[in-house]
Amino acid sequence: MAKYRIAWMPGDGVGVDVMDAARIVLDKLTLDAEFVHADIGWEFWCQEGDPLPERTISILESCTCGLFGAITSKPIDEAERELHPDLQNRGLVYRSPIVRLRQHFDLYTNLRPCKAFKGNPLNYKDDIDLVVFRENTEGLYAGVEFYPLPDEVRQALTMHSGAMARFESTSGDDIALSTRIITRAGARRIIRKAFEYARDFDYPTVTLVEKPNVLRATGGLMRSAAREIGSDFPGIELWETNIDAQMMWLLKNPQEYGVMVTSNMFGDILSDLAAQLVGGLGFASSGNIGDHFAVFEPTHGSAPKYAGQYKVNPIAMLMACKLMLDWLGEQAKAEALEAALSAVILEGRVRTYDMGGDNTTLEMAQAVVDHLP
Ligand code: IPM
Ligand code: MG
């Protein structure tokens, strides 16, 4: 029996292309793993009304971890139109499968390293080494949303918040509410992970990126949790910045920052900016990590217009494999993979279109394989 059982979830669009690249590289690394295909993606929404079928959850429950490619999501009305006619008008609602996976398996850490590889023509500046810790299960993406706004919810809000007075005359159909839920336990565990990472990999600071001057309740709770946890790590300085200013500072002085920690939506935004500083989404990987299970993915989407063309850059996907190898404790393989990626980028002979070349996804993967021992 193989040592690891890995759920193999290409999803759709270019998810399939980059997962093929991952396979070539993992095979060469001779990872002692069984790869178990699991259905996920837009076609399962259209055919079954669920892009994340129950059988996929069962497969994941039997696996060591999962590897995920990408998935298409569309706005509500388009999603409804593309449903199989038998499934239309049944009140089925499309919710992002990756967000559901994060919540279902309590994968509370979204680890997003963004490092400038030497020789990458797309680097905004050299020597950038950012690591975003994005809280992955709560905040604005917790799924507690209302539209139209039910009367009971409005009454409760009006009773407890004077700020609701301004919306008194707006009808329930004309008002939508998305809540930003932060729990102390949720804040503490993501912040602790960020500090532990800074300690383990020698980063001198952890930057809490929030907005407590305006979002007093939720931002304030994040800040107090950060100060509390920070006091357990006396060698690491806690910096506190606001999300808006942080975007500006990152463009100005990206090399000054290292580990950053933030809530779910701010982390979504911050990590795209961080990705762009080191070459864009083709270079950005994510680990969705809980206490006992994890799913690794490239941060990019399914880019339907490139689907099946084997055109997109597989580096993000291969970096996701590297994060998976780290998490599995396969350090030698993780290091070999990163070294091979670095060498291919530095040489610059094989490049996908985003890097100004015309090599395919699989040629890039093959170049990486050629650099593996
Ligand atoms: C990401 C993506 C997802 C998110 C989408 C696809 C739901 O943007 O992983 O950053 O918002 O988390
Ligand atoms: Mg995102």
Closest Cα to atom 11, ligand 1: which residue? 268
Ligand having the closest approach to the CA of 269: 2
42 contacts 71 by C-beta, under 8 angstroms: yes
In the reported structure, the alpha carbon of residue 301 is separated from the centroid of ligand 1 by a whole-number distance in angstroms of 8
Q: What is the DSSP string of 128-150?
A: -EEEEEEE-SSBTTS--EESSPP
What is the model's pLDDT at position 75? 85
Distance CA 367, CA 318 (A): 12
In the reported structure, the alpha carbon of residue 319 is separated from the centroid of ligand 1 by a whole-number distance in angstroms of 17
In the reported structure, the alpha carbon of residue 171 is separated from the centroid of ligand 2 by a whole-number distance in angstroms of 32
Ligand 1 residue neighbourhood (C-beta within 6 Å): 96, 98-99, 268, 299, 301
What is the number of residues in the chain? 373
Strand partners of residue 239: 207
Distance CA 361, CA 312 (A): 6
Q: Which atom of ligand 1 is nearest to the CA of 268?
A: 10
Q: Which atom of ligand 1 is nearest to the CA of 271?
A: 10
Ligand having the closest approach to the CA of 301: 1
Distance CA 334, CA 318 (A): 10
Q: Which domains does the chain have, with CATH numbers?
A: 1-109+288-373 (3.40.718.10), 124-140+182-277 (3.40.50.2300), 145-178 (no CATH)
Distance CA 348, CA 279 (A): 14
CB atoms within 10 A of CB 327: 17
Distance CA 323, CA 330 (A): 10
Residue with tokens 């083709």: 282
In the reported structure, the alpha carbon of residue 299 is separated from the centroid of ligand 2 by a whole-number distance in angstroms of 7
Closest Cα to atom 8, ligand 1: which residue? 268
Full pLDDT tens readout for the chain, 373 residues = 999 999 999 999 999 999 999 999 999 999 999 999 999 999 999 999 999 999 999 999 999 999 999 999 888 899 999 999 999 999 999 999 999 999 999 999 999 999 999 999 999 999 999 999 999 999 999 999 999 999 999 999 999 999 999 999 999 999 999 999 999 999 999 999 999 999 999 999 999 999 999 999 999 999 999 999 999 999 999 999 999 999 999 999 999 999 999 999 999 999 999 999 999 999 999 999 999 999 999 999 999 999 999 999 999 999 999 999 999 999 999 999 999 999 999 999 999 999 999 999 999 999 999 999 9
Closest Cα to atom 10, ligand 1: which residue? 268
Q: Which atom of ligand 1 is nearest to the CA of 99?
A: 7
In the reported structure, the alpha carbon of residue 369 is separated from the centroid of ligand 2 by a whole-number distance in angstroms of 29
Closest Cα to atom 9, ligand 1: which residue? 299
Q: Under DSSP, is residue 11 helix (H, G, I), strand (E, B) or coil?
A: strand
Q: Which atom of ligand 1 is nearest to the CA of 102?
A: 12
CB atoms within 10 A of CB 371: 16
Q: Which atom of ligand 1 is nearest to the CA of 73?
A: 6
Q: Which atom of ligand 1 is nearest to the CA of 265?
A: 11
Strand partners of residue 11: 70
Residues bordering ligand 2, an ion, CB closer than 5 Å = 268
What is the model's pLDDT at position 131? 98
What is the model's pLDDT at position 209? 98
Q: What is the DSSP string of 225-275?
A: HHHHHHTT-TTSEEEEEEHHHHHHHHHH-GGG--EEEE-HHHHHHHHHHHH
For the chain, the C-alpha Rg in angstroms (whole number) is 21
310 contacts 361 by C-beta, under 8 angstroms: yes
